[in-house]
Amino acid sequence: MRNFLGKFPTEKVKLLKKNGEIHEGIEALIDSKKIFIDDAKVPIEEEDIIERTLPTGSKEQFIVIDRGFYKGMHGIPDHYQIEVEKVSRYHKPAFGSITHMYNINNESGKVNINSTDNSVNFTLSENDEQLFETLKQLAASLENSDEIVSEIEEMRITAGKPTFAQKYNAFIQSIANHMTIFAPFIPTLSTFLAKK
């Protein structure tokens, strides 16, 4: 069967699997919502990460939402049309989705009676705290452990706040050489991008 992406501007990407495996040099055509790969032997699964290197040398990562395998026919080979979402995508609240909260809260020192409070109260659960502690333990033995542990702590502090996206991106940059260790945790961490 022929390579149906041959006439399109493709690039080499890396597949970071949930189990820590890495597959490099995969030919792909990248769109903002889909990635096309015509090598049906690539073991793509939902929640895997596809990574591309930009001309600047920085990395861009996509989480696989639906691997979209298509069986070939009429000269078109088996291939993937993968639905993806950017890992660093900043989730903004929908227009008009301001929540009105009326509360008396002695712990935070706020008192709001018959007034609009557009602030967001967010508390890390015990599982969330354990996630950040596990990440710190994994980072402890790495060559740039101080930097990574610092970035993890910054993420923990800013979880649920608009500045989390910036700290998350800094963490991703600091672990670039250790992605096999941290890849299984990326989908969970990316959920904090939506918690604002």
Rounded mean pLDDT of 45-52? 91
SS (H, E, C) the chain: CCCCCCCCCCEEEEEECCCCCEEEEEEEEECCCEEEECCCCCCCCCCCEEEEECCCCCEEEEEEEECCEECCECCECCEEEEEEEECCCCCCCCCCCCCCCCEEECCCCEEECCCCCCCCCCCCCHHHHHHHHHHHHHHCCCCCHHHHHHHHHHHHHHCCCCCHHHHHHHHHHHCHHHHHHHHHHHHHHHHHHHCC
95 found inside a domain: no
Provide the domain count of the chain: 2
104 found inside a domain: no
| Pairing, β 22-30 against β 11-16 | antiparallel
Query: What is the model's pLDDT at position 176?
Result: 82
Q: Which residue has the higher pLDDT, 190 or 151?
A: 151
Domain that holds residue 39: 11-86
Beta bridge partners of 84: 64
110 found inside a domain: no
Q: What is the pTM of this model?
A: 0.44
Q: Which residue has the higher pLDDT, 163 or 116?
A: 163
Domain boundary among 61, 86, 111: 86
Domain boundary among 66, 86, 106: 86
Query: What is the model's pLDDT at position 60?
Result: 87
One domain, residues 81 and 140: no
One domain, residues 82 and 130: no
Q: Which range, of 3-12, 46-55, 163-172, 182-191, averages the lowest pLDDT? A: 3-12
98 found inside a domain: no
Q: Which residue has the higher pLDDT, 65 or 118?
A: 65
Residue type, 47: E
One domain, residues 75 and 129: no
Which tens digit of pLDDT belongs to each residue from 81-113? 999 888 864 544 444 444 444 444 444 445 555
pLDDT at 29 over 60: yes
One domain, residues 126 and 181: yes
Instruction: State the CATH number of the domain containing residue 67.
Output: 2.40.10
97 found inside a domain: no
Q: What percent of the chain has pLDDT over 70?
A: 74
Query: What is the model's pLDDT at position 98?
Result: 46
One domain, residues 78 and 131: no
Query: What is the model's pLDDT at position 24?
Result: 92
Query: What is the model's pLDDT at position 88?
Result: 64
One domain, residues 184 and 135: yes
Query: What is the model's pLDDT at position 9?
Result: 66
One domain, residues 126 and 179: yes
Q: How confident is the model at residue 153 (pLDDT cuts 50, 70, 90)?
A: very high
One domain, residues 28 and 81: yes
One domain, residues 76 and 132: no
- Output the furthest CA–CA distance in the chain (Å, rounded): 69
**Minimal CA–CA distance to 42: which of 60, 28, 62?**
28
* Sign of the CA dihedral with 14 first, then 150, 192, and 141 last: positive
Domain boundary among 36, 65, 86: 86
Residue type, 82: I
CB 30 within 8 A of CB 13: yes
